[in-house]
């Protein structure tokens, strides 16, 4: 039977490794909390911050999208982005949140980041809305030909699936050629 190695001061390497792993996990958990902490410290008082922290643990994605849209409409683009990123922190697999963030970034002129976020959303879930946002981003960043090809791909896909409704025909025709 092997005996554990114990140093003069009672140090046991295997216990240290376990404790070190636990400490590293605590550090990772703290780092994951930092975006929330930054968001909460922007609140006007401690009570509001605590209420918001409790609410974020159960905030549905559609509410986060609505909140961010309201913030953006009031001119608080940084707050809107922070809201969406915080929601994504809690629900990283939500393609709809990613598309909301991509649209916001496109509107802010941050096209390369918007493109990356939209592509990540499409990898999670391929939706017509995702492909349309991708086309809009390509057009906004000056890639009108690429945007047109994405729109044609989407139009063909919707037609093959029998989902090319009048609404989608209008959406596909609208806001081409760039713009925010």
Place of tokens 């409790």: 54
pLDDT at 155: 96
pLDDT at 145: 96
Q: Is the pLDDT of residue 44 over 80?
A: no
Give which of 49, 124, 56 is closest to 84, Cα–Cα. Answer: 56
Quick one: how many helices (H) and strands (E) in the chain? 9, 0
Q: What tokens were used for 59? A: 């905030």
Question: In this structure, what DSSP letter does residue 9 have?
Answer: T
Q: Is the pLDDT of residue 60 over 70?
A: yes
Give the span between the Cα atoms of 41 and 62, in whole angstroms. Answer: 24
Find the helix packing angle between 111-124 and 128-140, rounded to 10°: 160
Q: Does pTM surpass 0.95?
A: no
Determine which helix (DSSP H) or strand (DSSP E) holds 84, and give its type and residue range: helix 77-90
pLDDT at 140: 97
Q: Which fold has domain 94-180?
A: 1.25.40
What is the residue extent of each domain of the chain?
14-92, 94-180
């Amino acid at each position: 039977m092997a005996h554990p190695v114990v140093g003069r001061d009672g140090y046991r390497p295997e216990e240290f490794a376990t404790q070190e792993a636990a400490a590293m996990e605590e550090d990772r958990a703290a780092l994951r909390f930092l975006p929330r902490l930054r968001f909460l410290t922007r609140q006007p008082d401690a009570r509001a911050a605590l209420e918001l922290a409790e609410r974020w643990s159960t905030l549905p994605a559609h509410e986060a999208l609505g909140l961010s849209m309201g913030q953006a409409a009031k001119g608080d683009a940084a707050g809107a982005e922070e809201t969406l990123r915080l929601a994504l922190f809690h629900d990283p697999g939500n393609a709809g949140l990613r598309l909301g963030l991509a649209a916001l970034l496109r509107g802010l002129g941050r096209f390369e980041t918007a493109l990356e976020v939209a592509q990540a959303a499409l990898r999670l879930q391929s939706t017509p809305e995702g492909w349309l946002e991708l086309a809009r981003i390509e057009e906004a960043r000056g890639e009108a030909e690429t945007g047109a090809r994405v729109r044609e791909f989407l139009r063909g896909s919707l037609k093959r699936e029998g989902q090319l409704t009048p609404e989608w025909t209008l959406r596909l025709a609208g806001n081409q050629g760039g713009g925010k």
